[in-house]
């Protein structure tokens, strides 16, 4: 099959010994692809400086959130700010489990997120591919219409979607929770962009081999789009994980709510126990963060080093 030949070809390219004329870089061990790259462009001091300082700035509010999750409510709200609690309040994390049916809400979150992510990857890659690489009447117009739904404030959809779900008899059900989120204009646009950037020769070759458009899409183009698919997966997971208004409106049982909605119930109209909110939100984001760490190493790096670009 064509995709395998591509795979083999690039892999061969990758294993070709590196050009010897690298400038400046202290060449350590030779022969591996890694050092081949390491040789190009000299030292990384500036890069480390920029990324290190920038990264710390980016992470700072988050680190502070961790500290707040271990403080008392008085310390969190104190002026002047308290940077380190008098005593670490690990109890705040235990209280999360008292206040929320955390595990059953986690389960709901995982379920709806998996369903939506799989559905979006499937539907968006299909449509994105068609919009990018196929010719059909009305393509531009349809794409514009799909994109146009991004331009309306999301609250506009609330009432209509609620009544649609009500009409389908899906209020307070898993189906009602996931349904509108199965379809994504953003994802379609993302995948269209990814497919647009790909070379046409691969499709041509497969077509000459007698593959039909679906086979070309599935076996040739889809594997090439993996980096963008992982981006789509990450963004969909995050969006679904943090989504607040919709699950709050369509569910009436706290056990059926996803975590995002459960967390919001910790915020009171007059007084709020902020450390518990901080602790709960850190617990809730942990699975997504772990997923990202795995994805960015396995998928983005993994694909790059296997030569499947």
Partner 1 sequence: MAGDGIWPWLFIAPLVAGISVFYFWPVLQTAFYSLTDWGVFGGWTFAGFANYVTLFADPALYLSLGNTLLYTAIVLLGIPIAVYLASLLNLPGLRFAGLYRVLFFLPYVAMPTAVAMVWRVIFNGDFGLLNHALAIVGIDGPYWISTPGAATVAVAIVGLWSSLGFSMIVLAAGLKNIPPEMYEAAELDGATRWRQFRSITVPLLTPSIFFVTIITVISSFQLFDLLYAILGSSNPVLPKSMSLVYFFYREGFVNNDKGYAAAIAMVIFLIIGIVTAIQFRLQKRWVQGD
Partner 2 sequence: MSPSFPTPARRGAAVLAGAVGLALALSGCSGGSGGAAGGSGEYAAPESDLSAKITYGVWDQNQVPAIEENIAAFNEEYPDIDVTVNVTPFAEYWTKLQTQASSDTLPDLFWMNGPNIGLYASNGQIEPITGAVDAGDLDLGNYPEALVDLYNIDDVQYGVPKDFDTIGIWANKALFEQAGVPLPEGDWTWQEFQDTAAQISSALSAEGVYGGAGGMDGQTTYYNTIFQAGGTVIDGDASGYASPEAAEGIQFWTDLIASGGSPSIQQLTDTTGDQWFTSGKLAMYWGGSWFRSAITDTDLAANVTVLPLPSGEEQATVIHGVSNVVSAASKNKQAAQALQVFLASEEAQQQQGDAGAVIPAFTGTQSAFTESLPDANLQVFLDSVEYAKPLPVSKNSAAWNAEEAELLPQAFAGERPVAEVTEELAEKMDAALAEE
Task: Enumerate residues 82-121 that contact partner 1 by CB under 8 A.
Answer: none
Nearest to 222 by CA among 129, 116, 120: 129
How far apart, in Å, are the Cα atoms of 204 and each of 11, 71, 196, 220?
A: 21, 62, 15, 11
Does residue number 182 form part of the binding site for partner 2 (CB under 8 A)? no
- Nearest to partner 2 of 23, 270 (CB atom): 270
- Nearest to partner 1 of 5, 54 (CB atom): 54
The CA-based angle 177-181-187, given to 5 degrees, is 165
Report the site for partner 1 in 149-208 (rule: CB under 8 A): 149-157, 159-161, 164, 179-180, 182-183, 185-186, 188-190, 193-194, 196-198
- Nearest to partner 2 of 78, 212 (CB atom): 78
Q: C-beta of 2: minimal distance to partner 1 in Å?
A: 18
Nearest to 303 by CA among 2, 1, 10: 10
Q: Using CB under 8 A, which of 73, 104, 173, 235 touches partner 2?
A: 73
DSSP code for 271: -
How far is residue 113's CA from residue 258's CA, in Å, rounded to a whole number?
Answer: 10
Binding at 43: pick from partner 2, partner 1, none (beta carbon under 5-8 Å per type): none
DSSP code for 152: S
> Which residues, 6+ apart, have CB-to-CB distance to 269 below 8 Å?
none
Report the site for partner 1 in 1-60 (rule: CB under 8 A): 13, 18-19, 21-23, 34-42, 44, 47-48, 50-52, 54-56, 58-59
Nearest to 82 by CA among 264, 286, 272, 274: 274
Residues that bind partner 2 (CB under 8 A): 72-74, 77-80, 99, 155, 158-160, 162-164, 166-168, 171, 244-245, 248-249, 252-254, 264-271
């Amino acid at each position: 099959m064509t995709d395998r030949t591509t795979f083999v070809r690039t892999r061969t390219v990758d294993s070709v010994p590196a050009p010897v004329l690298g400038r400046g870089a202290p060449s350590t061990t030779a022969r591996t692809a890694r050092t081949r790259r390491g040789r190009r462009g000299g030292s990384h001091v500036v890069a480390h400086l920029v990324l290190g300082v920038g990264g710390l700035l980016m992470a700072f509010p988050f680190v502070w959130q961790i500290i707040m999750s271990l403080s008392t409510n008085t310390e969190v709200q104190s002026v002047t700010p308290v940077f380190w609690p008098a005593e670490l309040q690990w109890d705040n994390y235990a209280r999360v489990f008292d206040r929320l049916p955390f595990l059953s809400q986690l389960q709901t979150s995982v379920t709806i997120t998996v369903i939506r992510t799989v559905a979006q990857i499937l539907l968006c890659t299909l449509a994105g591919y068609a919009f990018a690489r196929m010719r059909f009447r009305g393509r531009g117009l349809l794409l514009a219409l799909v994109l146009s739904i991004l331009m309306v404030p999301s609250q506009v959809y609330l009432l209509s979607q609620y009544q649609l779900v009500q009409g389908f008899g899906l209020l307070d059900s898993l189906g009602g929770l996931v349904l509108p989120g199965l379809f994504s204009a953003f994802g379609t646009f993302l995948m269209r962009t990814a497919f647009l950037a790909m070379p046409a020769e691969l499709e041509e070759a497969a077509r000459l081999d007698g593959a039909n458009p679906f086979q070309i899409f599935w076996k040739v183009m889809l594997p090439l789009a993996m980096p963008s698919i992982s981006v789509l997966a990450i963004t969909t997971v995050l969006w679904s994980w943090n989504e607040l208004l919709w699950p709050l409106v369509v569910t009436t049982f706290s056990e059926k709510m996803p975590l995002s909605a459960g967390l919001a119930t910790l915020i009171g109209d007059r007084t709020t126990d902020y450390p518990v909110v901080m602790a709960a939100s850190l617990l809730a984001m942990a699975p997504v963060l772990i997923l990202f760490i795995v994805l960015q190493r396995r998928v983005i790096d993994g694909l790059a080093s296997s030569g499947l670009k």
